[in-house]
Structure 1
Amino acid sequence: MGESVHTVTAMPMQRRPGCPFDPPPELLDARRNGPISRFTFPGGKLGWLITGYDLVRSVLEDSRFSARKELLLHPTIDITGVEVEPAAPGEFLLTDDPQHSRYRKLLAGKFTVRRMRMITERVEQIAADCLDAMEKAGPPVDLVTAYAKPIPAIVICELLGVPYEDRARFQDHIALFLSGETSDEDLIAAITATYAYIEELVAAKRANPANDVISDLLNTDLTDEELRGIGLVLLSAGLDSATNVLALGTFALLRNPAQLAALRADPGLADSAVEELLRYVSVGKTFMRTALEDVELGGQTIEAGTTVVLSYNTANRDPERFPDPHVLDLGRSDGGNLAFGHGVHMCLGSQLARIELRVAFTALVNRFPTLRLAVPADEIPLRPETADVHGVKSLPVTWDT
Structure 2
Amino acid sequence: MKDDTREKQWQDHFPRSLPRYVLMACLALVVASLGVVLTPARPPEPAEPPFSEQARAAALAETRQLLDAGSQLGTAPRNGSKDNSAESADDRSAAAGNPAVERTVTLLTLQAQALLALGESPADAASAASASGRATSPATSPATSPAAPRPATAAGLVLALADSGRQRLADAAKADGGMARLLAAVGTAQLLQASALAAETGTEAPAADVTPPQLSGTCPSPSASPAVPAAGKSAAEPSAAAASLSGALAATVRTEAQTIYGYQVALTRLGGDAAKSAAEELARHDALLDGAESLSRLHCSAVPPREAGYALGPSFLASPADGLADLEAAALPVYGDLVALSEGGTRQWAIAALFGSAKRAVRWGADPGALPGLESASMPTQPAAETPSQPAG
TM-score, structure 1 normalization? 0.25
Q: Which has the larger radius of gyration?
A: 2
Choose between structure 1 and 2 for higher RCO, CA contacts under 8 A separated by at least 6 residues: 1
Q: What TM-score comes out, normalization by structure 2 length?
A: 0.25
Q: Greater strand percent: which structure? A: 1
